[in-house]
Chains A and B, each alone.
Chain A
């Protein structure tokens, strides 16, 4: 099995509320997957299932393990940052390094120390006394020094200022990612990750409404700025979204092909946010 994650009919209900309604997806090695969806859509539930933090129905396979039974074994190959505010406040930086060294067989302490040297973090400081950005740097230094094959990031840059956010993704790409590892990231700052994703998954109301590689997305979805005389003709192709800009109509098409698109007007790549909004508005059959 080359897939890192295989989900089939993955379901989770909390009482009467269906958080996930039987979703299917796979995640391959060497990919950076963006899981995008509004609050309550089911993305956190999906991540929790993958990380062994909740029970579920259906089939879910992560590195060949069932996360419900083998969470701690899974954590040898997977690491996650659920929120950068979760490092224990009483812990000193040196204790955090000692702790991870003592419990994680794949932790490279020297690497973590070299990351920390680039920051202003002092070894004797307690986590509770560090600024939010520095806590992120610390958490990231720890995580990037663990030789895991899958990294799951749930809104990792929430509440951070732009400098830390840029540094976060920079370190991720230069120090961690390679063709054997994968990253799953959820975020509301879609623009921030737009260009670093290799795969895109949109989730809404517990269902996956888009799941494809960025290559396919760029072939399928085309935004066309249409001159008024072509507007009616354009509508025949069933655009999935429509807006106006400087008096001209901009249509978003799914799968009409580059040639037809160019015949209607100026073509552009849609931003992921626009694509997201368009797919969200679609009525799911």
Chain B
């Protein structure tokens, strides 16, 4: 499996982010099993310690739980938890920056929103 790891972050962090992204996108659903450490390490050609570290962080964040002898499973309520965390992050850090940029470019907020809903009017499902 090809994965393009960037060099700005430790790989275990990037792996953790991948899992989180899968959960948010609903590819990994609550109660689903994560692939085994061995499987992931073989598929991505990473050492198992790196994979374990990523999984451990997910356990610490209570996104994933370890069931003895069975494996790692996405916790119930994980998606909600992640979603609210991401929303908080967006609202407190990213959104203000976007607003700043909108101001800086001299654009009008309501115009932007109208433009968006017009162009995606017939496409939303």
Contacts and interface: CB of A to CB of B under 8 A. Distances in A.
Contact of A196 (B5, B8, B38, B46): B46
A170 B46 contact: no
Interface in B17-55: 38-39, 41-50
Name the prevailing secondary structure of the B interface residues: helix
A173 B46 CA distance: 8
Given A197-B47, A198-B47, A198-B49, A269 B8 contact: yes
Interface in A145-186: 166, 169-174, 177-178
A174 B8 contact: no
Interface string B38-75: 11011111111110000000000000000000000000
B41 A196 contact: yes
A170 B42 contact: yes
Contacts of B41: 173-174, 177, 196
A267 interface: yes
B8 A195 contact: no
Contacts of A218: 10
B5 A195 contact: yes
A270 B9 CA distance: 11
B45 A269 contact: no
A196 B7 contact: no
Contacts of B82: none
A173 B7 contact: no
A74 interface: no
B48 A173 contact: yes
A144 interface: no
B60 to A, nearest CB: 17
Interface residues of B, number: 18
A218 B10 CA distance: 8
Interface string A188-220: 000010011110000000000000001000100
Contacts of B5: 195
A227 interface: no
Given A32-B47, A166-B45, A196-B46, A173 B38 contact: yes
Nearest to B42: A174
A132 interface: no
Interface of A: 32, 166, 169-174, 177-178, 192, 195-198, 214, 218, 223, 266-271
22 contacts: A169-B42, A173-B45, A173-B47, A174-B38, A174-B39, A174-B42, A177-B41, A178-B38, A192-B45, A195-B44, A195-B45, A196-B46, A196-B47, A197-B47, A198-B49, A266-B8, A267-B8, A268-B8, A269-B8, A269-B9, A270-B7, A271-B7
